[in-house]
Structure 1
Amino acid sequence: MDKKITIAIDGFSSTGKSTLAKQLARHLGYVYVDTGAMYRAVTLYAMQNGLIGNDFFNREGLIEHLDDVTLQFLYNPVLEFAEMYLNEVNVEKEIRTLAVSQLVSRVAEVPQVRHKLVEQQKHMGEAKGVVMDGRDIGTVVFPNAELKIFMNASPETRAQRRFKELTELGQVVTYDEVYKNVVERDYMDTHREDSPLVKADDAIEMDNSNITKQEQLQKVIDIVNKMLNEQV
């Protein structure tokens, strides 16, 4: 009897939610859904269509065009994870830039955007056997998920990780820019009116400031195995 569960991973930006979720999904043979990529893709659409910039945001214009936004995850066998497609175009690299990071929290605040994406996310997880990460997975998308993880780390640690990631991708950024973005996103994510970032009451909190990715993965695998054994 192959029992499958739904795993919700929430937390602050740059805590390595996607990395853990990908590793866990690969280990368990589950489907991985990167909800942050979905919000980033909508943000990229808004940027490409002149609906948002550093000093303006045409919220109504974005809302009016939401039906023109089609999102898909298509599996890349070489990378061993699904990449984000916006209107049938692979935008995996484009959505990971600092320019998108600086605007995504403003887009994610829009209730109509959240409602559209949450409905899609709920549909993706109906069959269980899914690992989904984001900001409101355990509280809004899958409040009944069997396992909820809430990830945290100091802003300095997260900024350093993000800075390293961006520079390795060839982007020209400074640590101070990245740190400022991390702090601003923390504030916006926790203070928005619609589905703010909060730890679910039944979530297991993990601070990964001082542990390796492999140590973190093993901790969660142990939790999952214990949970599955108890359900047999």
Structure 2
Amino acid sequence: MAAVPAPPARGTWFTRGGWWFLVHVGSLGILAAVPFTHAAVVSRRIGHGVLAAAVLTATLLTFLLLGTAHEDAAGHPEGFLAGLGGTLLMLVLLGGLASLVVVRQQVYGEKPASSAPQPALARALAARTRRDEARRLATSDPLLARDLRIGRPDLPREYDDGGLVDLNSAPAPVVASVCGLEPVHAEGILTARRAAGRFASVDDVFAWAELPVEIWDRVRDRGIVL
């Protein structure tokens, strides 16, 4: 069974986290905390919030180191503190850039569609296929269909018709159960059956019985006449 395709992602590259990289690289890492904070708000993940706090702390520490470092004659910071601050800023710039790639995928990345079919969906589709096969058999060989007791889940049988009910012979409780009808509607079908003698087609039910239009599809889906 083919997998159901994932819905297309909404928005553009820019709105789906692309602007993070522009802010990060354009500010040379100084505003690195901004995209990480936005990611934490959008995803509501604690890990992203912790990462945003760590990037903000590293950025502030960088300014602190550069601000307290000794300056040369030209006013440029130098020495150990200046070197440490520059290294930390480079780590924020490069490390933050790599982290943004991962975080963007976590926040905006498309989730792959499951290749395995859902069990409930697979069972429902398989039952529909069996109903179609049973209807074709009933049309081509009604006697064999009766022998297999198609449409009579209340009788002992081995053939699986996918959940059909013979509207010409099944009791009212069975009609109600298989078609998902209220008992009063199932009784209405039996009353119409007695009046008509037998139904020539499923649509005959709607001509003889006063049934709400909203349940017609249920009767058509599960009903059969033999």
Same fold at TM > 0.5: no
Higher relative contact order (CA 8 A, sep 6+): 1
More strand by share: 1
TM-score for both structures, normalised by structure 1? 0.26
Normalization by structure 2: what TM-score? 0.26
